[in-house]
Chains A and B, each alone.
Chain A
């Protein structure tokens, strides 16, 4: 299989959707003339025209609301929010409209909308530009939340997002855009709610999603040096969450570490830990460990920022602490 970058996997899929369905339109800040702040839509406006690939004003609330209305009105829109940090300005539209219109109208209307956004820290962008709020979206009934790790995930899950009749929040960790991975030429789609066992192991399960899966794999390497065989689970979607895959792995390894860039306190890692302990209590040899971002905003200085994020050594250390 050919190796392509995460960004390429997204581009390939978006192009296919634009070609396949007239009703597909892409809207967002700087996705056209500028080419997308992470170059995901580079060249698309030239290829598909400003009617299909549309530069919007810097108005997050109406960009998202417009996507919702367009979806209700019969189009198949994809809205790009540049980064997850700016989604806070559109939170009302996402939580109170996108996630509730189908319910409040008793199914008379629904919202087939894909909202893409870049997430994560690590590029020294300081506090306002380095957040990871995947867990907040996952908390909301009515939404689906997709967090790909590999290029293969990105392509297969984005396909599914465009087939889903519900609002889908599609989150891309900025550290992944240039990472390569195998992606089949052919068309394929990955179902939501199916995690991927990235690496098989017997002693401990390392659970991550999006960028944190990478840290988990590095931690698994470290553990291997100490003869600890770690299984690495890539969740792929947070809502729906593949609870079976999590429990199956933990019932085998009897130990788990959940890794998340976001703040630990009140974060999504706590949900995963709680579910495991609720449903596999007697299978656990030790409480589930969480390795997350520090309880601070993200600072600019490189060393401070790195210290604020989960590191492979920490993850490996937490895993060893379970023995």
Chain B
């Protein structure tokens, strides 16, 4: 399955734990997983757990507008995107889950 997670919650929340564990399990099951960070979710880009998941196959996107607003400078493993980019990701996804 092609799983897309939209993450708008901050990185010290229950949602962060849920998202990390779900992605990890989905990668274990050999699903294709993408995450899109927006709003307060942008701060998650600063956590090691996300980078580690990226190294295991997670594709990472973020809303460039929200990142700039929050003065977050993501590393190169995360791909700058937009709400239109998210719409495109939704087109390809079999399931879309949002956490906010």
Q: Do A and B come from one complex?
A: no
**Footprint of B on A, CB under 8 Å?**
none
**Footprint of A on B, CB under 8 Å?**
none
